[in-house]
Structure 1
């Protein structure tokens, strides 16, 4: 069963319904001590990074997430919180996946980056099984992880950024797989089947 971490910084119903469509049971949890009972976990997030990070710390989630040894994936802001730091609020984050999150250099493009965009697979991984460079997913973000050795899949909007990242048992998707139709369902299924 998959735990969906409820820190009050996300609309978690769309994530829950996406897993239900894959016949995968989930449970929304609100207490850090519950996390260790699950086989894997999702850290969703929307809003401002400093507010979300404060809620994680104040709620006692920081240690519970860091000590979780099974697959855990952040979605959108949840992914950014797994990284080392972010320019949004200029704060340190959980530090579980190497790299910094910075403002997208959109220049003459509309910000935030919102809508469907193609992906580029940078290296093979269990989370990217069946993904092609023609596939599109749905993004809503103004900040992004700078590409580095943790980058599995990249996207481009103004500049190149990480779309999927992973380090050990932690992973993140900058886009919303729960809103990304068949491609998103495939990626969520990859997470369900991911073995560490």
Structure 2
């Protein structure tokens, strides 16, 4: 199985690579369109600021490639947010895969939300064998509101979508690669998904 992690300069790549290696697979870092298109699974990571990350995607042409991928694609954290219509962070237009706009938590709660929080309302094969209310590791100031494409919910000030799915596209606001055995099970489930 060929696993490609999209390399566009948006941090957090090593911990994903190590998590995949622990599952017995090897991932390749690439921003080469041909290599990404040929992958069985694509992981779209992201740590950083939305507008500068989007700028890097546009410079490399990945902004038009990613929405047209046919194999299972997993966006993590900022990667998931960039797959949405837009984000308030830097007033950034997203890739428009998920039909939801990312907004900022209010000042009523500590921002960023940093640490462990529960996921529930689980839908999709991504959560096969995962119990309701498991704790996952999150670090974020912006969130995707609960919507039709939500496949997991987390409560922080309000209920929001901590995972999204549309067709072959999946996104997690939490970091599966930093969420212990449960997170690794979610990554393993992603790697086991059938390609379209």
Q: Which residue of 1 aligns with 2:100?
A: 99
Q: Answer yes or no: is the 8 Å Cα contact 1:118–1:136 preserved in 2.
A: yes
1:127 partner SS: helix
Q: Which residue of 1 aligns with 2:116?
A: 116
State how far apart, in whole Å, the 2-side matches of 1:131 and 1:137 are.
Answer: 11
Deviations 1:112-148 (A, max 9, x none): 00001111124x3111111222310000000011110
Q: CA deviation at 1:194?
A: 1.3
Residue 79, structure 1, aligned to residue 80, structure 2: yes
Question: How many matched pairs?
Answer: 194
State how far apart, in whole Å, the 2-side matches of 1:144 and 1:21 are.
Answer: 29
Structure 1: gaps of 5 or more residues: none
Deviations 1:17-58 (A, max 9, x none): 000000122111022232111001000001110000110011
Q: Which residue of 1 aligns with 2:151?
A: 152
State how far apart, in whole Å, the 2-side matches of 1:17 and 1:75 are.
Answer: 15
Q: CA deviation at 1:98?
A: 1.3
Q: Answer yes or no: is the 8 Å Cα contact 1:106–1:159 preserved in 2.
A: no
Q: Which residue of 2 aligns with 1:9?
A: 10
Deviations 1:65-113 (A, max 9, x none): 1221000010000000111111111121000111110002350x21100
- Which portions of structure 1, spanning 4 or more consecutive aligned residues, are displaced by more than 6 angstroms? none
TM-score relative to the length of structure 1:
0.95
Residue 44, structure 1, aligned to residue 53, structure 2: no
Structure 2: gaps of 5 or more residues: none
2:103 partner SS: strand
1:138 partner SS: strand
TM-score relative to the length of structure 2:
0.95
2:126 partner SS: helix
Q: Which residue of 2 aligns with 1:31?
A: 32
Please give the root-mean-square deviation of Cα atoms over the aligned residues, in Å. 1.1
State how far apart, in whole Å, the 1-side matches of 2:32 and 2:44 are.
Answer: 13
State how far apart, in whole Å, the 1-side matches of 2:64 and 2:25 are.
Answer: 26
